[in-house]
Structure 1
Amino acid sequence: MKIHYLISHLEDSEAVRSLPDIFKILRELGHDISLFILSPPPDYLPNDLRNSLLDGLASFPCKHFFETQKSFLAYCNALAKLLRKDRPNLLITSQKKATRAGQIVGHFLNIPVASWQHGSSNQSLFRSRQHLTRFWIADSTASRCYLEDELGIDSGCILSWPNYQPPRSLLWPAEQRSYWQGKTILHIGFIASDHNKKSKTCLVKALSYLQKKRPNLSQEIALLIGNDPFASRKHTYTLKPPLSGKDTRRIARLRDIHLEEIQGNLQTFYVNADLLVQPMQGHENRFHLFEAMASGLPVITSPIPEVKTLINGGRNGLILSKNAPKILAEAINHYLSVPALVEKQGRNAHLWIKEHYNQRKFHEAGIAVIQKIEEILFQERLEKLPHTLPLLLPKENENP
């Protein structure tokens, strides 16, 4: 098949990191694959991601539609022009903007569309466009459950292709990790980005509540802040302080709780943290939960649909009943009171990621997904043939 693969941008995310491996599988199956990117090239990419993309995609056709940001209508027009000129058998879309444009244009040009589902998104927006996509590709079991249970999409239209592959740079240190046993300071990790201000505030207030319950809290915990400058929805790539001035002043009032900030290198952050505390809002990047668990960290996070499967019934961490500082304070206090949970859940999290997300399963799932799409599209073409076959076949009383 001729396949066009459409994405919104090349910002750091698992959807982008997995592109070289996805393209290798498509080529291995004999398909003609090209990459098209709506947004202009990013100002900055982490070196490991840049090198991976350069090495993995060098032999594939790749094109940016525009050198500057454009309107959504401009993206649709450019895509329609491309698809009319170079019509594919299948259009695969990834990320929100590309998925919206691909679904709309593909529908009007009668081109089958397969859309990746990364986490959860605006339900009303997706419900209004369900019929525009022929296939949904869920990047995790949780994403599949979200599509079926929350959006009501027929299970026959959903294909599962787990998208995350933990790097060895995280797996190996996890196997050598010395877990917190309750005799030293507990390093509580939090990953800050441009759009999780409410989560930061929730954490700071939770520590304030906890200090009232544990007056010696400054001798029991330290706060480790990792900076994620690439998760900004504003598409800015300058390094910013992980915490705002207001949050820093709030922490300063927490009477000597040690605060350490790590800029840019999240692998160092994962190695030094003992526990990831990440209350999350709707638009935050779940990728860091996978990374933390691969590193052997238990996770405290929010009751978001796709996270429930990840936490595995409380075996890999804790899910808050809601994003409330007092509830978060109680969760942190639980680990301080039962230190053995940190090692138990941390090891469970690491093993769970290794079992459910690895290169072999990624490869097998990818082949199964693409072959299933081929089979369905071929069958649909066959169903249209009977209308024309009688004209080609000899009549009953005629000699062949």
Structure 2
Amino acid sequence: MARKFATRVTNIEISGIRRAFEASTGEFFNLGLGEPDFDTPEHIKRAAMQAIESGFTSYTVNKGIAELREAISAKFNRDNHFSVGPEEIIVTSGASEALHIALQSVVERGDEVLLPNPGFVSFAALTKLAEGIPVGVPLGEDFTMSVEAVKERITNKTRALILNSPANPTGAVEGERNVKALVDIAADHQLTIISDEVYEQLIYDDLQHVSPARFYDSVITVNAVSKTYAMTGFRLGYLAAPAANVEQMVKIHQYIQACASSISQKAALAALTGPQDCVAEMRREFKRRRDFAVAALRELGMDFRTPQGAFYIFPRVTDEQEFVEALRKQKIIVTPGSAFGSLGKQHVRISYATRFENLERAFAIMKDVVTGGERTGR
């Protein structure tokens, strides 16, 4: 008899980002993965090693060690301009777990969750795992969340709204006016906002990050040390929410994870409380790469919006699969836009989170592919 699997699992697919990466073997210029190429700063690595050497390798309390939650609380107050106490914070195994327990805690079977389309691949998949229904919201021409499109898609089944700024895959940054308008809609319809802010420190052109929790109580704010401090492998994220939400989410966290890695928690504490010049240095380098990628794509005559944050650019192409395959044959990996939702079709996501020298070589090859007759569109 054939094995039966739960439909909530069979209804989701492996990430298109991973498929693009794993389909390639050998040496490639990888412009597909969203992972900083920088080494983790030394003071953070030392903190992790000291944790191991001192024997700090056991379970911690479910929510995370007190000193780390206090540091996160201070960070939200200082950087994001909203007040949250240490007891309203859960330290998680990456932002991925934080998103998972946030959705599990508020979504019932058949509830609808509004999310950006195109948007980060996990949003729809985690909604389905919670037995909810993902409802894609078309973005505006500048790739920010369309207020009118959100209004049009609210029904009596709508339970939550996911915001992501700066955004993956587009690099768009939500301005204060738009955030306030979305908060007003959420308040009018008693929706929970889940705000994914993992790229908040990677914003360019003198723009400012705006957290919806500044203006609204029913917000679950998700963040991590992964992108800001080049700590993706530490798997350390965190969330902040009202006490009633945290009380429910910590139950899920307790049973699926128990606690985040004790070693990673000490490293995150060093990251948040230590020198921040490393963050500024990485941001400057990402901006340099962004500017190079923008100039290179303009030279190729491609149609795109200049990203304002994160480390992605999302140009339009005529045939994404043909474009992706043409580059793959030349040992360059990019991600098809359809991996990020139905409205990502006819786009590709290019990550500039790789060494500048690799970007130069990859875009030189890309120029040969485009000018050699591959159909890219305008």
| TM-score using structure 2 length | 0.29
Larger helix percent: 1
Q: State the structure with more CA Rg.
A: 1
Q: Which has the higher contact order (CA 8 A, sep 6+)?
A: 2
| TM-score using structure 1 length | 0.28
